[in-house]
Structures are given as structure tokens and as C-alpha cells.
């Protein structure tokens, strides 16, 4: 996990490791890193550096975040399906027993937290917990291992921790937010409108104030979900990168950097698990509130 001190400064090393592999549309007339100019009509291409990513704007996709998040989601589905097929009344094997513990833990959390009746909540909570945990777990892979290996294959940028990308965390949070709105309308009907307009002040004159306060509180929920996960994981990844940069400073920093990496990795195991648990619990709480018909 040593920095490439011969060709990169520490700042360039950090920026490189925090840049996504981005595919998008560069606007016409934009001058690229190699001096070429984008022709009329724009150009769909891989971005080179933060300047080109900024120029692409919303006409871009983080290829690495999408591939790693979808891949880890498929890994979760494959693993749990395989375990489900192996389940039997006999004494379970190590993997089956471990998965059963996770399922029972999530099921118990849902029963304690969710006060409605909806068969979707427990599977959703299990999916969120395991999927977010797997995405966070990628943070424990040495920061130079996969990016450097892919650079040898011609892939310049690679961020392997999807939960350090706000597009991924906010996308999941918006998905939960849509479910909140759907079940609030389905369960409460017109009562959801009354909830937004007549709380906390039950008087028609205060409807604008109530609506403003309730809408702000409602919109704060997906932001609290997505930005909390992103902020914690981004900070953890930044610390890993800063420690890895010490390897390129000098031979006397190799041992302290190695000890710091191991220590932070051990502590980060708690962080990645806790963040997955918090995302799951808040999802359950928000959906439980959506099912509460007063």
C-alpha cells in the first residue's frame, strides 16, 4: 500500500485514489487533457481527471461504483440462495449457521422495531444490512491492491468502496424514501395530508407553518440515511489512504504505517458493521412511522 512517491506527490496520490472511474458526455468544444478538442455534438468517453468529470455534469455515471455495488448485491443473492438450498433439520455447517444467525438477528430487530404488518420489511432489512455491510467491507482491502492491479491493465481510476460514493448511498436512501411515501399514502390515505398540515399546531391558520416544518422533517430522513453512511465511510477511506501514503515517505515510516494500518483496520471492522446496522434500523423505523395510522 505504498504511495507512488517517484511519480506522484502525496496530494496527487490522495486525489487519484478518491477519483471515480467515470463514463460520460463531454460538451462540444471542451479541451481534453491531451490537447484535443471535443467535436460538435459532444463525446461519450471515459473521463480523465476531475476537470473532465466536472465538465460532464449529470451526463455521467461512476462505472466503478455501479459495478462493485451490483456485483456485491449479486454475491449476496448467490450466497444466501446457496445457503437456503443447503439448509436442513440436521446440525448446520459453519456457513449455514452463520447465515441463520444473521437472519435471526435481523428478524428479531424487525419484530422489536416495526409495529405494523408488512411481509416486505424483514427481507428488505436483511438485504440492506448485508448489502451495505459487504460494500463497507471493501474498505478493508489494501487501498493500492486493486487500483494498482487495474492500472497495469490500463484502467486509470478505480474506487472499490461503493459506500464512499454519495450517488450510491443517496440512491439507496431515496429508494427507502419512496417506500416511505408509498406506504404513508397507502396506509393513511388522506390522513397523511392531515399529518403534514395539522401537526404540530392543530389549527387552519398554522397550515403553512405546519407544512413547512413537516416537509423539512420528511426530507431530512433520506439525507440522514444517505449522508451519514457516506460521511463515515468516506472519512474511514481517507484515513486508510493517508496511512498508505506514509509508506512512500521513507523507510523509517514503513513499520509505523503498517501498525497504524492494522490498528485502524481492526477498529474499522466495528465501524463498517455499525454503519450497516444503523442504516437498517433507521430504514425500519422510518417505514414503521409510515405504517402508523393515528
The predicted-structure confidence for 127-174, as pLDDT tens digits, reads as follows 999 999 999 999 999 888 898 889 888 888 999 999 999 999 999 999
User: How far apart, in whole angstroms, are the C-alpha atoms of residue 123 and residue 34?
Assistant: 49
Catalytic residue chosen out of the listed positions 25, 118, 167, 228: 228
CB 118 within 8 A of CB 141: no
Closest CA to 129 of 293, 285, 282: 282
Closest CA to 22 of 143, 170, 158: 158
Supply the DSSP symbol for 39: P
pLDDT digits (tens, 9 = 90+) for 190-239: 888 888 888 788 878 888 888 899 899 999 999 999 999 999 999 999 99
pLDDT band at 1 (very low <50, low <70, confident <90, very high): very low
Q: Is-catalytic flag, 163?
A: no
Q: Is-catalytic flag, 82?
A: no
User: How far apart, in whole angstroms, are the C-alpha atoms of residue 183 and residue 176?
Assistant: 11
Q: Is-catalytic flag, 232?
A: yes
pLDDT digits (tens, 9 = 90+) for 85-111: 887 777 667 888 889 999 999 999 999
**Run of H or E including 65:** helix 63-86
Q: What are phi and psi of 99, to 5 degrees?
A: -65, -40
**Run of H or E including 16:** helix 10-17
Q: What are the residue ranges spanned by the domains of the chain?
A: 63-154+161-291
In this predicted structure, the answer to whether residue 2 has a pLDDT above a threshold of 70 is: no
pLDDT number for residue 196: 84
pLDDT band at 42 (very low <50, low <70, confident <90, very high): confident
Secondary structure of residue 81 in the 3-state scheme: helix
The answer to which of 8-17, 61-70, 271-280 has the lowest mean pLDDT is 8-17
**Run of H or E including 113:** helix 94-113
Catalytic residue chosen out of the listed positions 4, 167, 224, 288: 224
CB 222 within 8 A of CB 174: yes
pLDDT number for residue 282: 95
Q: What are phi and psi of 79, to 5 degrees?
A: -65, -45
pLDDT number for residue 279: 96
> Which has more pLDDT, 283 or 49?
283
Amino acid at each position: 500500500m505504498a504511495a507512488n512517491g517517484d511519480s506522484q506527490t502525496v496530494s496527487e496520490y490522495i486525489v487519484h485514489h478518491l477519483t471515480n472511474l467515470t463514463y460520460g458526455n463531454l460538451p462540444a468544444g471542451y479541451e481534453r487533457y491531451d490537447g484535443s478538442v471535443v467535436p460538435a455534438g459532444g463525446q461519450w468517453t471515459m473521463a480523465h481527471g476531475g476537470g473532465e468529470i466536472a465538465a460532464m455534469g449529470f451526463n455521467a455515471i461512476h462505472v466503478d461504483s455501479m459495478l462493485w455495488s451490483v456485483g456485491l448485491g449479486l454475491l449476496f443473492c448467490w450466497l444466501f440462495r446457496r445457503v437456503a438450498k443447503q439448509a436442513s433439520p440436521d446440525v448446520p455447517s459453519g456457513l449455514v449457521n452463520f447465515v441463520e444467525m444473521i437472519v435471526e438477528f435481523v428478524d428479531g430487530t424487525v419484530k422489536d422495531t416495526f409495529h405494523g404488518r408488512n411481509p416486505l420489511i424483514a427481507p428488505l432489512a436483511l438485504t440492506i444490512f448485508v448489502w451495505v455491510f459487504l460494500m463497507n467491507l471493501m474498505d478493508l482491502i489494501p487501498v493500492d491492491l486493486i487500483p494498482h492491479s487495474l492500472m497495469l491493465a490500463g484502467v486509470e481510476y478505480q474506487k472499490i468502496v461503493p459506500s464512499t460514493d454519495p450517488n450510491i448511498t443517496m440512491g439507496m436512501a431515496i429508494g427507502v424514501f419512496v417506500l416511505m411515501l408509498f406506504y404513508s399514502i397507502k396506509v393513511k390515505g388522506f390522513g397523511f395530508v392531515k399529518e403534514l398540515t395539522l401537526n404540530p399546531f392543530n389549527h387552519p391558520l398554522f397550515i403553512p407553518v405546519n407544512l413547512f416544518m413537516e416537509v423539512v422533517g420528511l426530507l431530512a430522513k433520506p439525507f440522514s440515511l444517505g449522508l451519514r453512511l457516506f460521511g463515515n465511510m468516506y472519512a474511514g477511506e481517507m484515513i486508510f489512504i493517508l496511512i498508505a501514503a506514509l509508506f512512500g515517505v521513507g523507510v523509517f515510516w514503513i513499520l509505523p504505517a503498517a501498525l497504524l494500518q492494522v490498528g485502524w483496520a481492526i477498529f474499522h471492522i466495528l465501524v463498517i458493521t455499525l454503519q450497516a446496522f444503523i442504516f437498517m434500523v433507521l430504514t425500519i423505523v422510518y417505514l414503521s412511522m409510515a405504517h402508523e395510522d393515528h
